[in-house]
């Protein structure tokens, strides 16, 4: 886990970058620093951007329940099985 000492060791520009990223991720800078140390700034920034886009998409378009996905999958499998049986 990242420490206060790790935060203090950052350059001023990296500290600002971390604080912006933490605000976007709705985490503290210290929590965010753990991921930055593990994955790097660019990976973390991309991940946060992608998560924000996904959340926006869910708000705009909604989601599909697991039950609906499973029912459609069963229908597809059954359709395929019937086609295979008919081909025999």
What radius of gyration do the chain's Cα atoms show? 22
User: How many whole angstroms separate alpha carbon 79 and alpha carbon 83?
Assistant: 6
**Tokens 């998409």, located at residue:** 57
pTM of the model: 0.72
The answer to whether 48 touches 25, Cβ cutoff 8 Å, is yes
What pLDDT score does 35 carry?
Answer: 97
pLDDT level of residue 3 (50, 70, 90 thresholds) = very high
Q: What is the pLDDT of residues 10-56, one digit of tens each?
A: 999 999 999 999 999 999 999 999 999 999 999 999 999 999 999 99
Mean pLDDT value across residues 57-80: 96
How many other CB atoms are found less than 10 A from the CB of residue 33?
24
């Amino acid at each position: 886990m990242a420490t206060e000492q790790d935060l203090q060791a950052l350059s001023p520009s990296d500290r600002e970058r971390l604080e912006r990223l933490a605000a976007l991720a709705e985490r503290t800078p210290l929590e965010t620093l753990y991921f930055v140390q593990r994955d790097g700034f660019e990976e973390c920034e991309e991940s946060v951007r992608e998560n924000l886009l996904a959340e926006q998409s869910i708000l705009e378009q909604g989601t599909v329940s697991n039950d609906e996905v499973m029912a459609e999958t069963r229908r597809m499998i059954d359709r395929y099985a019937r086609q295979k049986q008919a081909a025999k």
